[in-house]
Structure 1
Amino acid sequence: MVDVTAGDGGRGRPDAVVIGGGVIGLTTAVVLAERGMDVRLWSPEDQAETTSAVAGGLVWPYRIEPAAQALDWSVRSFRHFSWLAEQPRSTGVRLLRGRMAGSAPPAAWTALTGTPPRAPLVDMETYLPYLAGRFEAAHGRVERRAARSLHEAAAAAPVVVNCSGLGARELVPDPAMRAVRGQILVVENPGVEEWYVDAGSGASETTYLLPQPYGLILGGTAHEDAEERDPDMATAEAIVRRCAAVRPEVADAKVRAHRVGLRPSRPGVRLESELLSDGRGGESLCVHNYGHGGAGVTVSWGCAVDAARLVGPATGG
């Protein structure tokens, strides 16, 4: 049996270690810490260096399986983001109207977003620091370190939550993990106030315009098994052409930044638990929460709550 007592700092080690400092790891760490656990988050990267920092931030199910479960996670996350949108300056979350072209959303999603849809759009430059601040306020602590193995983390805490994203490919190891390369541009906004997305059907090239406080995001790509992190200028020019076909005024918009991120794709999100040896003759509980593809932000709160439930009584779940 795994011995977990919430808030028991007397043993000299935390109640839980969360591996991964992206939006999935941060959100899960917040949920656990706000439920009374002593949590340490291990990440070798600053928030601004994670794949989550490159995310466009539209809360909408995209490139994630299984679809039915993803919709449930998305609906529950939508409700939390709607609450966060009441504090847009501090959270970076706004509810904006927009248009999703090319495919009809499920009825449960339409019921939430309305027609035309109104969905949360998250400014990741503000949102990730907001999550980190919320984690710190709940007495969580970030440690700048990479997990060399799950067993190393198991030796440090009775609960390990693996939110390592693409890193799970080596850490677990999980050969089902694949990178899906996304490239975007940030340009000066010529006056676009609503979001637009045409994701196609599994297309490697998508078209979207997402107005953020710091500029207009133009996208994008979804290239499977491509891991080049430097922006490709020919790809950037193609993105601008596609977006200009929707809003001609963006054709001459000044480019502020080129960004590339590798989505952590998997045939299905892995959200389940197992027991790990802690190297001391005992066991630690390991909850896996990774493989969210292009919808990490969208499902983050729903998945975090389900991960906390797998942790069990220590979180009140």
Structure 2
Amino acid sequence: MGDVAVVGAGVIGLTCALRLAEAGRRVRVLADRRPSETVSAVAGGLWFPYRAAPADLVLRWGRVSLSRFRSLASTSGTGVYWREGIVLHRSADPDLSWTAAVPGHRPARAAELPGGAVSGVVCSLPVVDMAVYLAWLAESCARLGVEFRHGTVERLDAVAQRTVVVAAGLRSGELTGDTTLEPVRGQVVRLANPGLTRWVVDDDNPAGMAYAIPRGEDVVCGGTADEGARDLAPDPEVERGVLARVGDLVPALRDARVLSRAVGLRPARRSVRLDRVALDGRVVISCYGHGGAGVTLSWGCASDVVGLAA
């Protein structure tokens, strides 16, 4: 029996399990969904601290992840790329706090800005092909002896291990009694990649947020941020709007073939919960509420989990 149970098999749960195993702990992952079925599998995979707080911890966690992803980008089979792109701004006073974690960023030149954008930041960031990356995480865990058990954890007192890491996305609130978690619905469409490598993010687009993130064979295009919505069925009208906005930003995608479409519910909270409490004779470490920044914060938060589990 492993001496640490991790509840959840998304990017946060798997990264926590891997870091704990790397630290010499015996780990068992308990999850009702396989990695490919989690909200992490829907993510565009760009490192970016979207809808996550508090700012100081987000920057610290993000820096740790940025460093790990830089290493993984040079390792074959991980699904991690290091690519240049642009974050567009349509207001005179954009939030640039995230750039403190990103070396080598620069202001966008006028020729790089589409109509309506008043400024932008050009930088190189990790881009993660989530299907490949989640499989790599799971395989890396297995190589270090992490056990996987498929099933629903209804109550933490039903878990045999005395140390439990709760990293179950939206279900984390049910397990810990936290009523502050809310879904933020995101819809994406994946297009065949016509050879693009440069990503673009346009969250301030007046017609709705827009992004295009080229990975391996596909380009993840979005998106939406519908607070409180729980419908997992892709909306054709929403998709048409996404494709129109993305086509304006990246004309090469206007005739690209649709490969797939998906909806995910981001686990949002006023701030990430990462703490340790004693509950029913167990050590319970909470690691959830990452909003749209699960990939971005994964390695930094997992390192803190290892410290709390010591």
1:287 matched to 2:285: yes
1:134 matched to 2:140: yes
| 1:256 alignment partner, SS class | strand
1:121 matched to 2:108: no
Task: Work out the CA distance in 1 between the residues paired with 2:104 and 2:45.
Answer: 18
22, 28, 39: which one pairs with 1:51?
Answer: 39
Give yes or no for contact 1:205–1:222 (8 Å, CA) kept in 2.
no
Change in Cα spacing, 1:45 to 1:112, as seen in structure 2 (3 Å) is: farther
179, 189, 196: which one pairs with 1:185?
Answer: 189
1:109 matched to 2:95: no
Q: Deviations over 1:247-304 (max 9, x none)?
A: 1232222111111100000011100011121xxxxx2111000000000000000000
How do 1:210-249 residues align onto structure 2 when only pairs under 5 Å count?
210-249=213-252
Give yes or no for contact 2:58–2:297 (8 Å, CA) kept in 1.
yes
How do 1:184-203 residues align onto structure 2 when only pairs under 5 Å count?
184-200=188-204
- Amino acid across the alignment from 2:307: R
Which residue is 1:6 aligned to?
Answer: none
Alignment length (residue pairs): 291
Change in Cα spacing, 1:298 to 1:195, as seen in structure 2 (3 Å) is: same
- Amino acid across the alignment from 1:186: R
Give yes or no for contact 1:182–1:220 (8 Å, CA) kept in 2.
yes
| 1:62 alignment partner, SS class | coil
The two structures, once aligned, show a CA RMSD in angstroms of: 1.6
- Amino acid across the alignment from 2:253: V
Give yes or no for contact 2:207–2:245 (8 Å, CA) kept in 1.
no
The alpha carbon displacement at 1:214 in A equals: 2.4
Task: Work out the CA distance in 2 between the residues paired with 1:105 and 1:83.
Answer: 25
- Amino acid across the alignment from 2:88: A
Give yes or no for contact 1:85–1:94 (8 Å, CA) kept in 2.
yes
Identity percentage of aligned residues: 37
Task: Work out the CA distance in 2 between the residues paired with 1:188 and 1:120.
Answer: 20
The alpha carbon displacement at 1:43 in A equals: 0.6
- Amino acid across the alignment from 2:39: T
User: Normalised by the size of structure 2, how large is the TM-score?
Assistant: 0.90
Which residue is 1:269 aligned to?
Answer: 272
Task: Work out the CA distance in 1 between the residues paired with 2:228 and 2:173.
Answer: 13
Change in Cα spacing, 1:68 to 1:200, as seen in structure 2 (3 Å) is: farther
Task: Work out the CA distance in 2 between the residues paired with 1:180 and 1:258.
Answer: 17
Which residue is 2:161 aligned to?
Answer: 157
The alpha carbon displacement at 1:305 in A equals: 0.4
Q: Deviations over 1:36-83 (max 9, x none)?
A: 111000011111100000000001111111122111100111000000
Shifted more, 18-27 versus 101-110: the winner is: 101-110
Which residue is 2:57 aligned to?
Answer: 69
Change in Cα spacing, 1:83 to 1:90, as seen in structure 2 (3 Å) is: same
